[in-house]
Homo-oligomer: A and B are copies of this chain.
Amino acid sequence: MGRKRTKSGKIRLAEVAELAGVSPITASRFFRNPEALSIGKRTRVESAAKELGYVPNLAARALASQRTEVIGVLIPSLTNNVFSDVLRGIYDASEGSRYSIQLSNTRYSILQEEKLLRLFLAQKPAGLIVTGIDQTPESRAMLEAADCPIVQIMEIGPDPVDMMIGFSHYDAARAAVAHLFEQGRRKIGFVGARMDPRVQRRLDGYVSAMKDAGSFEQRLVVTTATPTSVTLGGALFADLLAREPNLDAVFCANDDLALGVLFECRRREIAVPDQIAIVGFNDLEFMASAVPTLTSVRTNRYEMGRTAATMLIEAIDGQRPEQPVLDLGFKVVERQSSLPRHSDSRPAVSGAGATNKMVALPSSHD
């Protein structure tokens, strides 16, 4: 049947309209707002589209409507487990919606972020998800001038551009240190790597908690700008021990470092938790499985990504949330590595039992 097609052989909206016996604009409406059509035309267009296998041309749609159905996401790293959980949440929430995700990596540089932001905004995204609250003034101005909803994720701060979802890294670190104090620890070291703003605020929280207790000493803090790794955790811990042999606990800025510390303790035959307590940050899956099981600060990364994308999509569709700033909180998950000193340090079968309670993290499966 001699229907005319585009050179590339693709079916256009006009073909669908012709087959359905309606005007192109009516067919167009079917895909954007089916309720606006009478039931008769609606079903006619629907079956015509299905018969022809019509797929809309997004470039033409974007050009004509002056907006895209793209959600821009700016994150500082793809390597980091933390962000892959967040991303998974974002992708999960965007699936099924008509929006697609455009991801870019700022590599922990706010200047790079500014550049990418300029690029993104020029394409008129439907919405934007940006990491953190430490944008350059120019970025900040662009974000405020943008005519699309924006969600800042990973942490909460005083002055949201638009929406915000995260938790207080400062408070979380204070809580971790408080937990160690409760367990009777006093010489508590801090180990941190790749000191991005959020890790910095964890350090600030640690410092403030230590100062409140009158226990702060500068030499208890070991940090580096190097990207984090398990191996690095061991090395930084070795440093820390050299500075303070009487250390009785370590608060690690993330779980990889904590695992490195655990391995280094094993290597040096330092008993955990009897000699040294370990607390990590993020509560990755392996923390519950280690021997001894490792205490960590649980953060809701998957949920953060998912909620951010959901809020954003609702805002794009005109449903602004009542609560534009959402504190997802955190939880110090207490495990064997921070038990008090005089308890039995050798976890037996009950150790495996304690482990099993921790299996079903909401954020660790897909």
Contact = CB atoms under 8 A, between A and B. Distances in A.
A317 B95 CA distance: 32
A68 interface: yes
Interface stretch (A18-26, A167-175, A273-281, A288-296): A288-296
Interface stretch (A203-211, A229-237, A318-326): A229-237
A251 to B, nearest CB: 19
A227 B264 CA distance: 29
Contacts of A101: 103
A29 interface: no
Interface stretch (A37-45, A83-91, A151-159, A177-185): A83-91
Interface string A249-269: 000000010011001101100
A122 B55 contact: yes
B289 A234 contact: yes
Given A78-B91, A88-B79, A355 B234 contact: yes
Given A7-B66, A55-B118, A79-B88, 16 more contacts: A55-B119, A57-B122, A57-B123, A63-B63, A78-B84, A78-B88, A79-B366, A100-B102, A229-B286, A231-B285, A231-B286, A231-B356, A234-B352, A234-B355, A256-B286, A263-B289
Interface of A: 7-8, 10, 55, 57-60, 62-63, 66, 68, 77-79, 81, 84-85, 87-88, 91, 95, 100-103, 105, 107, 118-119, 122-124, 227, 229-231, 233-234, 256, 259-260, 263-264, 266-267, 285-286, 288-291, 347, 349, 351-352, 355-356, 358-359, 364-366
29 contacts: A8-B124, A10-B122, A58-B123, A59-B123, A60-B63, A63-B63, A78-B91, A78-B366, A79-B84, A79-B364, A81-B84, A91-B105, A100-B102, A103-B103, A227-B366, A229-B286, A229-B289, A230-B286, A231-B285, A231-B286, A231-B288, A231-B355, A231-B359, A234-B289, A260-B289, A263-B289, A264-B352, A266-B291, A267-B352
